[in-house]
Copies of this chain bind each other. A is one copy, B any other.
């Protein structure tokens, strides 16, 4: 029984990989760089996207694919930025899927104007577990970890931290008020992903928002 379960899971992963590769081929054919942006709920994905894009994006044509269990709150928040935003809701399947998979992204691609973009940011469902397990064809896997979540998170959700090349450490303005040691966080991150790049920011106060904007627009 257990063996059967494992075989099904592996089959599902293989199918995801196959579809992710098809997505990647489409992204590459259109010359679009794709970032899979992940975090826990409320870590600041949407706010950081707003901060990066609200001053205009120069020569870089940016689009956003929003993944949510239900609703379009985040897409609505981004609507004033005048970039194409496409919404995926995971709700129809099984009470709400906790992650985007390659097939959900593939199903949304007809609504994404790839030929008019240089950069597509996919905002995943807020979750530190399953999004790490499903590639969607992205070029870059980035995550946001807010200091209010605690400095133990790299050890508690190792796959997420291990599979991301950039960890944006958000809400650093709250550091004096929360039980979070930056040294401990960086040590813990080093244990699971010594090559991860980090950027310490506050979307709330605007600290290092220029660096964040340069990083995201520069990835295209």
Give me the interface of A with B, judged by CB distance under 8 Å.
5-6, 8-9, 40-42, 68-71, 73-74, 93-98, 125-130, 132-133, 146, 148-150, 152-153, 155-159, 171, 173-174, 177-179, 204
Known contacts A174-B174, A204-B179; is-contact A40 B126 (Cβ 8 Å): yes
Known contacts A6-B94, A42-B40, A159-B95; is-contact A69 B153 (Cβ 8 Å): no
Q: Which residues of B contact A158 (CB under 8 A)?
A: 69-70
- Contact call B156/A127, Cβ cutoff below 8 A: no
Q: Which residues of B contact A149 (CB under 8 A)?
A: 41-42
Known contacts A126-B156, A156-B68, A156-B69; is-contact A95 B133 (Cβ 8 Å): yes
Known contacts A148-B146, A204-B177; is-contact A157 B6 (Cβ 8 Å): no
**Residue from A5, A148, A152, A153 whose CB has the most chain B CB atoms within 10 Å:** A148
- Contact call A127/B98, Cβ cutoff below 8 A: yes
- Contact call B204/A128, Cβ cutoff below 8 A: no
Q: Which residues of B contact A6 (CB under 8 A)?
A: 93-94
- Contact call A125/B129, Cβ cutoff below 8 A: yes
Q: Which residues of B contact A125 (CB under 8 A)?
A: 129
A/B interface sample: 15 pairs, CB < 8 A? A8-B8, A41-B153, A42-B148, A69-B129, A69-B156, A70-B155, A70-B158, A71-B155, A95-B159, A98-B98, A125-B129, A126-B128, A148-B171, A174-B178, A179-B204
Selected contact of A73 from candidates B8, B9, B155, B174, CB within 8 Å? B155
Q: How far is the CB of A181 from chain B (nearest CB, A)?
A: 14
Q: Which residues of B contact A68 (CB under 8 A)?
A: 156
Q: How far is the CB of A188 from chain B (nearest CB, A)?
A: 10
Selected contact of A148 from candidates B148, B152, B156, B159, CB within 8 Å? B148
Q: How far is the CB of A39 from chain B (nearest CB, A)?
A: 9
Q: How far is the CB of A16 from chain B (nearest CB, A)?
A: 12
- Contact call B40/A157, Cβ cutoff below 8 A: no
**Residue from A42, A150, A204 whose CB has the most chain B CB atoms within 10 Å:** A42
Selected contact of A96 from candidates B40, B71, B129, B204, CB within 8 Å? B129
Q: Which residues of B contact A96 (CB under 8 A)?
A: 129, 133, 159
